[in-house]
Amino acid sequence: MNTTSNGAAGGAAAQPGTWTCPFCSLLCDGFALESGPVLQLHGSDCPRARSGLATFDDLGIATPSVDGAGRDLDAALDAAAARLAAARLPLFGGLAADVQGMRALYRLANVGGAILDHAHGEAMMPALRMLQDRGQMFTTLAEIRNRADLIVCIGTDAVSSYPEFFRRCAPAEGHEAACRVVFLAAGDGMPAADDIPWASAVESVRPAGDIFDTVAMLAALLDGRRIPDPDGALVALADAMRSARYCVIVWEPARLPPHGALVGETLLRLLMNLNRKTRAGALTLGGNDGAQTANGAMSWLSGLPLRSRVGPQGVDHDPLQYASARLLDERAVDLLLWVASFTPDLPPPQTTLPRIVLGHPALAAACAQPGTVFIPVATPGINADGHLLRADSVVSLPLYAMRDDGLPNVAEVARALLARLTSGVAAKEGAQ
């Protein structure tokens, strides 16, 4: 069980910098949170953080359930372990957990030979394919703050899913260079100039054609290839990117249409081209709900990314065959263990397969169903300590419990299941 570890007693406002927000992969750590039955954010109007925090208001006591009937934690663990022991090919999905949770899930997956995929696995694939096929040229939030003089957001307004993104990019003290922000094919919701007060200019470029045409055309222009009747705004943007001292491309794989990996690969080629004469890097916006963490932990523990099967036979990675939706649709697996510890907005997929859900307490009612074992778990940064990887992959940040709701964290539940499986208790329970 967790104890409140940041020293913020109920009702006391934590000082700015003592809370790390877990609700998107920017992991903002400059705001304050007032703890208590209702959690209050100070220093930011971030709608995503406010809506995430609201799910913990006056939460009440969430109890585990087995097939819709309330049970104590031990009984729910026994039932979950028995179903895991009986499964021949389980899928561990969702995977919205912190580093320790993911490490414990990985060990548990190894016992039964499970496949691991994240709830955002599909959105992660373009960046993963780009990395596997060609490598990557990434930058960090700190590099942007200290060096960028041109930020080009391609196919995204950034702020719809990452509301504090431009505040996090604000030039660091002493970095006086003017910085332009250009939105290329970013749709209608782009921020106004007032929303990015530090930018020397905020512009929008909307060429004809889809995102594939746009990125291919930009790459060709940066390559110096002759193009009949090119879009004038794209020509000007290519010139600006060539003359920038540090150009940053921001992209968001989750917003790309199918086959978005093609865009990722073109962007990488474009960056390699730019880096022949100047400096440029990409920031990939993604990894929410612990996706960055799950993939990082999986990679350093097994040597392969998510959408892999682990077990006594070794590790098998297949980004297409091991997609959760496909595995469930085709009933290629026989049990779903779903982890959603951050928000109730990540419910487990509906399926007739047996389900074990380690979830946000607000999922309790939706998961009280025949065939489902539900175990409420604590959330890193709210009622559990933990660590998460930030969107730029270079920093693992600590998160602190702001209050104690008496819930186990994901790692504790996974370890308890592992102990039952390896001691043989689960097999006996299943035989009864």
> Any contact of residue 164 with ligand SF4 (CB under 6 A)?
yes
As measured in angstroms, the least distance from the Cβ of 64 to ligand SF4 is: 28
Q: Which is nearer to ligand SF4, 289 or 429 (CB)?
A: 289
Token pair, residue 347, equals 């419910």
CB distance 158 to 130 below 8 Å: no
Q: Which is nearer to ligand SF4, 39 or 85 (CB)?
A: 39
As measured in angstroms, the least distance from the Cβ of 163 to ligand SF4 is: 5
Residues between 208 and 267 with contacts to ligand SF4, criterion CB under 6 A: none
> Any contact of residue 23 with ligand SF4 (CB under 6 A)?
yes
User: For residue 319, how far is the Cα from the chain centroid?
Assistant: 17
> Any contact of residue 183 with ligand SF4 (CB under 6 A)?
no
Q: Which is nearer to ligand SF4, 305 or 380 (CB)?
A: 380
CB distance 341 to 378 below 8 Å: yes
> Any contact of residue 163 with ligand SF4 (CB under 6 A)?
yes
Residue span binding ligand SF4 (CB under 6 A) among the ranges 162-170, 184-192, 303-311, 417-425: 162-170
CB distance 274 to 241 below 8 Å: yes
As measured in angstroms, the least distance from the Cβ of 53 to ligand SF4 is: 9
Tell me the C-alpha distance between 217 and 225, whole Å: 10
Tell me the C-alpha distance between 96 and 118, whole Å: 7
For β-strands 32-34 and 40-42, DSSP reports them as: antiparallel
> Any contact of residue 400 with ligand SF4 (CB under 6 A)?
no
Residue span binding ligand SF4 (CB under 6 A) among the ranges 45-53, 57-65, 179-187, 256-264: 45-53
> Any contact of residue 162 with ligand SF4 (CB under 6 A)?
yes
Q: Which is nearer to ligand SF4, 127 or 159 (CB)?
A: 159
How many residues of this chain interact with ligand SF4, rule: CB under 6 A? 13
376: Cβ contacts below 8 Å, ≥ 6 apart = 62, 63, 64, 359, 360, 361, 363, 364, 407
Residue span binding ligand SF4 (CB under 6 A) among the ranges 91-99, 131-139, 157-165, 365-373: 157-165
∠205-211-217 over CA atoms, to 5°? Answer: 75
Q: Which is nearer to ligand SF4, 22 or 90 (CB)?
A: 22
**252: three-class secondary structure by DSSP:** coil
As measured in angstroms, the least distance from the Cβ of 338 to ligand SF4 is: 22
As measured in angstroms, the least distance from the Cβ of 397 to ligand SF4 is: 10
Could you say which of 8, 14, 39, 49 contacts ligand SF4 (CB under 6 A)?
Answer: 49
Which ranges of 93-171 would DSSP assign to H, the alpha helix?
A: 99-112, 121-134, 141-147, 165-168
As measured in angstroms, the least distance from the Cβ of 14 to ligand SF4 is: 14
The closest of 269, 271, 160, 165 to 181, measured between CA atoms, is 165
Q: Which is nearer to ligand SF4, 28 or 378 (CB)?
A: 28
> Any contact of residue 139 with ligand SF4 (CB under 6 A)?
no
Q: Which is nearer to ligand SF4, 46 or 215 (CB)?
A: 46
Tell me the C-alpha distance between 235 and 217, whole Å: 9
> Any contact of residue 81 with ligand SF4 (CB under 6 A)?
no
Q: Which is nearer to ligand SF4, 145 or 269 (CB)?
A: 145
117: Cβ contacts below 8 Å, ≥ 6 apart = 91, 92, 93, 95, 306, 307, 322, 323, 324, 327
> Any contact of residue 283 with ligand SF4 (CB under 6 A)?
no
Secondary structure, 3-state, 185-237: CCCCCCCCHHHCCCCCEEEEECCCCCHHHHHHHHHHHHCCCCCCCCCHHHHHH
> Any contact of residue 48 with ligand SF4 (CB under 6 A)?
yes
As measured in angstroms, the least distance from the Cβ of 390 to ligand SF4 is: 9
> Any contact of residue 39 with ligand SF4 (CB under 6 A)?
no
**280: three-class secondary structure by DSSP:** strand
User: CB 369: neighbour CB atoms within 10 A?
Assistant: 15
> Any contact of residue 28 with ligand SF4 (CB under 6 A)?
yes
As measured in angstroms, the least distance from the Cβ of 194 to ligand SF4 is: 18
> Any contact of residue 389 with ligand SF4 (CB under 6 A)?
no
> Any contact of residue 286 with ligand SF4 (CB under 6 A)?
no
Helix (H) or strand (E) holding 417: helix 410-423
The closest of 262, 352, 257, 294 to 119, measured between CA atoms, is 294
As separate numbers, helices (DSSP H) first and strands (DSSP E) second, the chain gives 14, 18
Compute the Cα dihedral for 157, 161, 164, 170 and give only its sign.
negative
> Any contact of residue 44 with ligand SF4 (CB under 6 A)?
yes
Contacting residues toward ligand SF4, per CB under 6 A: 21, 23-24, 26-28, 44, 46, 48-49, 162-164
